[in-house]
Amino acid sequence: MSHKPGRPFLHIPGPTNVPLPILAATARPTIDHRSAEFGRLGREVLAGIRTIFKTRNPVLIYAASGTAGWEAALLNTLSPGDRVLMYETGQFATLWARMARKLGLEPEFLKGDWRSAVDVAAIEARLAEDRAHAVKAVCIVHNETATGTLSDVAGVRAALDRTGHPALLMVDTISSLASTDYRHDEWGVDVTVGGSQKGLMLPPGLAFNAVSDKALAAAKQARLARAYFDWEDMLAINETGYFPTTPAVNLLFGLKVAIETLHAEGLDAVFARHARAAAATRRAVRHWGLELQCRDEAQASPTVTAVRMPDGVSADAFRAEVLERFNLTLGGGLGPLADRVFRIGHIGDFNDLTIAAVLSGVEMGLRLAGVPHRAGGADAAQRVLAGETEMLRAAE
C-alpha cells in the first residue's frame, strides 16, 4: 500500500469532515444508557437540538440514517392509501417518493427537470384543484444534494395557506440543516427530517424528526404500521432524557459538542460561511467555462455545487484523477446524472482557506485530465472569499 502524505480532502456533500473535538467526544468510553449521567446528557441534547431546528416543539432522535427520518415522518402521520404530493427536484426527492409507494401511500410526483428547485406555483395550483382535500401531506426536499438546488420552504407554506389546504408540510433538511437558515416553527413545517452526517458535522447514525402540534395530532389518527419509529413511545420517555431502545450513546456525546460548536460560531455566521463558499465555488465554475447543474443561481445550494462536464467527458474519470493526484474526494453524479456531473461539497467543518485549496485542486485536475476550461477559476474564487467581488465584476 502506498502512503499519501498530507490531509485527505473529503468534499462530497456528506458524510462530511468531523472536527477533532466532536470526534474526540464520540471516542469517550460508553456509559450506561439508563444511568443518571446519561439522563442528563439526553435532556441536554434533546433541548439543544431544538435550537438548531428553530422549534419549541419536540425533536425525536433515532439511531438510524437520514433515510429512516423520511420513513418515521410518513409512518407516524399517514394511513394506507393516503395521497402525498411531492416534487421531483432530483435523486433524493425521487427516493422519498419511491419509499412512500413502498409504504402503501399514493405519491403524486410533480415532474421537475433536475435543474431547478421546487416550483411553488405548480404546488399551489395542484392544491387549489384538490377541493376534496385528498392530498394529506406535501413533502419536499429543502436542499437537493444531487442537483445543487435549494427550495423555498416558506413559499410552499404560503401556498398551503393561500389555498386553505389542510395538508401536512414535511421537509427533508438532511443536507441543509445547520448550514443555511431554516425555521421549523416560523415556516409552519409539520415534520422536518434531518441527519447527523452533514451540517451537524457528526458521523452517520442519527436521524431527526422535528414535529409540530398538528403532526402530533395526526399521529393519533395515522394507521400505517410502526414499531421502532413510533413517536408516542419515544416522546413518552424522552421527557426524562431517556430513549425506549438503546440509543447511539457515543454519537449523542458528539451531538452535544456539535451543538455547542455551532452556537460558539453563531448560526448566522455558519450560514454566511456556507453562502460565501458556495458563491466562490460558483464563481470558479463560471470562470472555467463549465456549466452549473442548477440553472438559476437564486436557487443555488449553499452546501453543494453540481458541475456539468462537457459532452463526451467523463466526470468519474476526472474525479478519479483528482483523488489519485491530490487526495481530494468529490461527489459523483446520481441517477441520470451519473458520470455527467461532479459535485463539490462545501458543508460542515471548513474555512475559506479550505475552499480555496479544494478549488485549486479541482482546477489542477481539470488541466491534468484534459478537460477544456479557462484557467484562473481558483483565483476568481479567492477574490470572492477575500471579499473582492466588486473588483472582480469591474475586471470582467
Extents of the domains making up the chain: 9-15+266-395, 20-263
Q: pLDDT digits over 59-87, tens only? A: 999 999 999 999 999 999 999 999 999 99
- Per the CB < 8 A criterion, the answer to whether 78 and 136 are in contact is yes
- Per the CB < 8 A criterion, the answer to whether 260 and 238 are in contact is no
The mean per-residue pLDDT over the stretch 124-138 comes to 98
Confidence of residue 4 (pLDDT cuts 50, 70, 90): confident
Read out DSSP for 8-31?
-EEESSSS-PPPHHHHHHHTSPP-
The mean per-residue pLDDT over the stretch 32-36 comes to 98
- Per the CB < 8 A criterion, the answer to whether 257 and 21 are in contact is yes
- Per the CB < 8 A criterion, the answer to whether 69 and 124 are in contact is no
Do 20-263 and 9-15+266-395 have the same topology in CATH?
no
3-class DSSP state of 369? coil
Q: What pLDDT score does 393 carry?
A: 56
Q: What pLDDT score does 202 carry?
A: 98
3-class DSSP state of 225? coil
Q: What pLDDT score does 390 carry?
A: 53
Q: Which top CATH class is 9-15+266-395? A: alpha beta
Mean pLDDT, the chain, integer: 96
Selection from 246, 258, 254, 304 nearest residue 64 by Cα = 246
The mean per-residue pLDDT over the stretch 382-394 comes to 74
Cα–Cα distance for residue pair 66/281, rounded to 1 Å:
26
Cα–Cα distance for residue pair 311/117, rounded to 1 Å:
24
Q: How far is CA 163 from CA 112, 117, 128, 129, 204, in A?
A: 22, 21, 6, 9, 38
- Per the CB < 8 A criterion, the answer to whether 210 and 192 are in contact is yes
C-alpha cell at 86: 411531492
Q: pLDDT digits over 212-237, tens only? A: 999 999 999 999 999 999 999 999 99
Q: What pLDDT score does 2 carry?
A: 77
Helical segments of 239-299, H only: 249-265, 267-288
Q: pLDDT digits over 331-367, tens only? A: 999 999 999 999 999 999 999 999 999 999 999 999 9
Confidence of residue 389 (pLDDT cuts 50, 70, 90): low
3.30.420.40, 3.40.50.300, 1.10.150.120, 3.40.640.10: which CATH number matches 20-263? 3.40.640.10
